[in-house]
Structure 1
Amino acid sequence: MTCRHDMTSLDQRLSALDLSVLPTWVYDHGRHRFPWVNAKALQFWHATDRAELLSRDLSDLSPAVRARLDGYLRVLAEGETVLEDWTLYPRGTPATVTLHGQPIDLDDGRLAILFQALPQAASVGASMVRGVEAVRHSSVLVSLVDREGKVLFHNPAALRALGDAPAIDAAFPDEGVAAAVRGAIDAEAAWAGEVRVVTTDGERWHQVEARPTTDPVTGARAVLVQQLDVTAQRRAEGQVEEQGRLIDQLNRSLALVEEQRRQILNLSAPILDVGRGTLAVPLIGRLDAERGSELGERLLPAIVAQRASHVVLDVTGAEALDPDGAAALERLAHAIQLLGSRPILTGVRPEVARALVDVDLGDELLVLRSLGRGLEVSRRRARGGARRRA
């Protein structure tokens, strides 16, 4: 029978239940208190007296218990009743009972739950009780649905995440997923997938498994649906993938920068074949160890390939040399000589000359005023060498 608020007080309305053989109490979920209890409830909760029990603070609830009670209030607000097995812990001692709950109005008009504790059948084993409690406190969402997808059971984790929608389809925005979950009832194996799920916290990603089973109450075929939230893992994988993409993009950018750098170096130190066995290399900008090494990698093979007898290094456009730049020019001149070619240095300005005072450029290095003069000398020598060979 559903109790409704009238002009009588809560104590007056429930006076007939005070002598009930069943432990009976009213639970105020908003304030986490017992506003009314009968004599059997005092014994059940191991209370010293009624005042002590009514003063107990019951707010220290686990998330699973809170979710179950929240769900009860939604059901009771519709005028329905609830009947479910609970393991309660009066004074720390476990007691498994079947709780029958119905709506009742408190004296201030708020909705509360009138609970009656029915003793469990003796045949209920300890392993079954523990199994039921484990499912209720599990963080995995566990649901039992029928052939049409109607929810027969949600554990507290599922209630918190999915609410009290009557059908499991509401959780899956993809109709194909919802159909696959319902269809598992006739499948030979479980269906599983990582899918988008609409929850009370918004859209999430769940690893879902739908396994055919039997409803233990009716004996009809049903589907056991288990869901594990993998949103954080999926986001982490997405971040790793994004970081990999950014690294690839960075590597491509670095490769492009390196290629552009090489092109700039080539332009700032081009190797020109001016004929008659002569290569001209106008050096522009800063000459340091790195540029000297890069130029050597290009120039020395060109000397061999062109069989160049003279190499004109023009430093007219080069910046003032520091010790590293002077050393780089020294190494380059010696390398040219080792290949049997005559190095000619042109366009030496005073600031470049000062940097080369303490540098040994070798006896074979010819220093001339301008690039034009260097080309003229190299061509004349080439003609002279040709006549001698003739």
Structure 2
Amino acid sequence: MRKNLFKKVSAVVLSLTLAVGMTGVVPAAVKKGTDISNGVAWQGFSIHTREDKGVWEDSLKKDNQVYMNEKDTKKSYGENASITSQTSTGFLMNVVSTGWSAQWGPSGKKDSKGNAIWEAKGNNPWGVTAKKILKIEKGRTYTATFKIKSTLKNEIKEAKEREDGTGYNVGTGKYNYIKHIHVKAYRNNTKDGDPGIDGAKITATYNGKNIVSTTKADQTKTKYDVIELDSRNEGYADVTVTFTIPGDNIAYKQNTCGLMIAAGALLFSFPDENDMKGTIEVKDFKVVASNNPVATSKLKSVKGLKKAVKASTKKVKGAKLYEFQYSTKKSFAKKKTVKSKKPTVKIKGKNVKSKKTLYVRVRVKTKTGYTVWSKAKKVKVK
């Protein structure tokens, strides 16, 4: 008999990270060392507290799930948490349950009666989260630092089945004090599924010992760097997250990013962590702009020639390289790059055909790194 309870949630629901996008004016460049999170409120979320206007919980209900369903634990969900107090630099979250919702299905194993044993098929940290939405500058690096502590614990349950097929739980008398959480720097655009920012680096230590590990891949081949918190520890763990906003105005359109602390049930990788109760406390939180602002490039001119395009940008003092990029798609899919030590280039190639419309943009490599890609200009080849 398995010792952990897994429940069914549609794949569509699992894909939600439920971050509410924010729009805003382009932020003015801030000085190196500025805490961009100062004064920004925390946003708490859990399935049962419905900060997403009930999108996730209503999806579960349509799947015949019931909150804390003792009549049939096979059709039950429990994610319930709320921030009880907060400041700009921290919060205290009361967790009624980290939950146990997950997409689940036959494991290929069978019980003593020959019936298929069902197991969780995906990681699910998103059912309980806290986040900040921050105004950023494209092409800039930021470093988030904070201290975190957990009092979460749970009794490990044994899942049993009645003759009518419904499920119920029996306590084993064994307790779990370990909770893994996921910290995610991400593009807060729900239309894109809130993807994490590539290259983000997470470090976390407790008394000098590394407590970061990587979860197993789930059915979507996704892996998460997670921080192991032990509620038996009296002190706080120290966490650092370093991430760089892409300097691409097309791939990264908005002027905000999110930083999320996700503490839902990580069922697939850590099966003993479902239905945990207690608190999560964060303090000394800040997000510092680590490098100087990166300038934005600008195309000076783009002219269509016979089977070629002439493009130029303003000469930049100290420029090591000028990169001109072109594509037949506005999204810059299947793009090509032309590198030059001069601010003017003649673009030729297999895709540069007569009567063809191209999109061109430029960026400059300097001693401090690349500038942000310029706005693209459209040009027609003669």
Give me the TM-score of the superposition, normalised by structure 2.
0.17
Looking at secondary structure, tell me which structure has more helix per residue.
Answer: 1
Instruction: Flag the structure with more relative contact order, 1 or 2, with Cα contacts below 8 A and sequence separation at least 6.
Output: 2
